[in-house]
């Protein structure tokens, strides 16, 4: 199983990533993907920018472990995860998860699983700048903790 | 010596991102020592949602810390 995890400031191109996954293994029949995008509002307030802080080293390690666990639960050929850090603006891409398997159900479920665990385990923290110029740290959502319980 | 890292809101509350100190003992003992030595702001370390990692793996209060370890304390994560 191929696992490729990148944490980077620059944006990514999902067409490029998908093309790379298709040639990795000719047994891949299904590629399920998720893209997380920054919204311009949160908790009823206008958000003009976001700073994504992380714990270098542990982020890659934690996501790699989550991908490996997905590979234990489902028959996967590959997992690709890209998570951006630094300054992000509304409408920009934040995170990409792709799970590849022979058939679609494993790919869909693994992609969902990886995102749920990334949201709860991977050491990233978002600080948003609001329309009035103030900034605040985003709070973890209780719905994310509940999502984990599904697995 | 161990390295202790603080992230996000916790780093801002403590006014510090990194420190080195001589220490062996449990995570709970480290927190207690830092709170006792650090002053009022350091009580933030005792928050029930604060996560600890030792060498980049999540650790519980009773886990041991050895010389050379990298310890991190951070608030609930909000990535993705």
Q: Is A122:A62 a contact under the CB 8 Å cutoff?
A: yes
The residues in B 40-79 lying below 8 A from A, measured between CB atoms, are 49, 53, 56-58, 72, 74-79
pLDDT at A145: 80
Confidence of residue B1 (pLDDT cuts 50, 70, 90): very high
pLDDT at A142: 81
Query: What is the DSSP-derived secondary structure letter of residue B61?
Result: T
Residues in A touching B73 (Cβ below 8 Å): none
Residues 6+ apart with CB under 8 A from A16: none
- More confidently predicted of A117 and A144: A117
Residues in A touching B78 (Cβ below 8 Å): 124-126, 137-140
Q: What is the mean pLDDT of residues B56-73?
A: 98
Measured in angstroms, the CA of B7 and the nearest CA of chain A are apart by: 8
Select from A9, A1, A5 the least CA-distant residue to A97.
A5
The residues that bridge with A51 in the sheet, in sequence order, are A87, A127
How buried is B32 (Cβ within 10 angstroms: 0-12 exposed, 13-18 middle, 19+ buried)?
A: middle
Confidence of residue B26 (pLDDT cuts 50, 70, 90): very high
Minimum Cα–Cα distance from A135: chain B residue: B9
Average pLDDT along chain A: 96
Which tens digit of pLDDT belongs to each residue from A6-61?
999 999 999 999 999 999 999 999 999 999 999 999 999 999 999 999 999 999 99
Which tens digit of pLDDT belongs to each residue from A57-73?
999 999 999 999 999 99
The torsion angles phi and psi of B56, rounded to 5 degrees, stand at 65, 25
Interchain pair A137, B7: CB under 8 A: no
pLDDT at A148: 87
Residues in B touching A83 (Cβ below 8 Å): 79-80
Please give the structure tokens belonging to residue B39. 């002053």
| A115 phi-psi bin (left φ>0, alpha ψ -120 to 50, beta other) | alpha
Confidence of residue A147 (pLDDT cuts 50, 70, 90): confident
Minimum Cα–Cα distance from B53: chain A residue: A58
Select from A71, A85, A67, A72 the least CA-distant residue to A7.
A85
Q: Is B47:B35 a contact under the CB 8 Å cutoff?
A: no
Confidence of residue B54 (pLDDT cuts 50, 70, 90): very high
Minimum Cα–Cα distance from A97: chain B residue: B80
Position A80 pLDDT exceeds 90: yes
Minimum Cα–Cα distance from B9: chain A residue: A137
Other CB atoms within 10 Å distance of the CB of residue A29: 12
Interchain pair A125, B78: CB under 8 A: yes
Interchain pair A123, B74: CB under 8 A: yes
Task: Give the CB-side neighbour count of residue A72, counting CA atoms within 13 A.
Answer: 6
Helix axis angle, A104-121 to A142-149, nearest 10°: 140
Select from B9, B41, B19, B50 the least CA-distant residue to A125.
B9
Q: Is A21:A98 a contact under the CB 8 Å cutoff?
A: yes
% of chain B beyond a pLDDT of 70: 100
Which tens digit of pLDDT belongs to each residue from A102-124?
999 999 999 999 999 999 999 99
Interchain pair B78, A122: CB under 8 A: no
Residues 6+ apart with CB under 8 A from A51: A86, A87, A88, A126, A127, A128, A129, A135
């Amino acid at each position: 199983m191929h696992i490729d995890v990148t944490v980077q400031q620059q944006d990514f191109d999902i067409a490029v990533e998908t093309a790379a996954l298709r040639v990795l293994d000719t047994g891949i029949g299904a590629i399920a993907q998720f893209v997380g995008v920054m919204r311009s509002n949160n908790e009823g307030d206008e958000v003009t920018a976001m700073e994504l802080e992380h714990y270098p080293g542990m982020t890659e390690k934690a996501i790699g472990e989550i991908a490996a666990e997905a590979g234990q639960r489902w028959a996967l050929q590959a997992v690709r995860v890209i998570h951006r850090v630094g300054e992000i603006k509304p409408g920009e891409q934040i995170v990409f998860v792709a799970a590849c398997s022979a058939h679609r159900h494993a790919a869909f479920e693994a992609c969902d699983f990886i995102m749920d665990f990334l949201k709860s385990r991977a050491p990233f923290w978002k600080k948003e700048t609001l329309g009035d110029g103030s900034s605040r740290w985003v709070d973890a959502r209780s719905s994310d903790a509940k999502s984990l319980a599904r697995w | 010596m161990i390295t202790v890292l603080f992230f996000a809101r916790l780093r801002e509350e403590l006014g510090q991102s990194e420190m080195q100190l001589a220490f062996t003992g449990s995570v709970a003992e480290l927190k207690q020592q830092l709170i006792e030595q650090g002053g009022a702001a350091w009580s933030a370390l005792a928050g029930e949602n604060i996560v600890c990692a030792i060498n980049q793996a999540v650790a519980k209060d009773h886990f041991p810390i050895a010389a050379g370890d990298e310890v991190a304390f951070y608030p609930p994560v909000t990535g993705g």
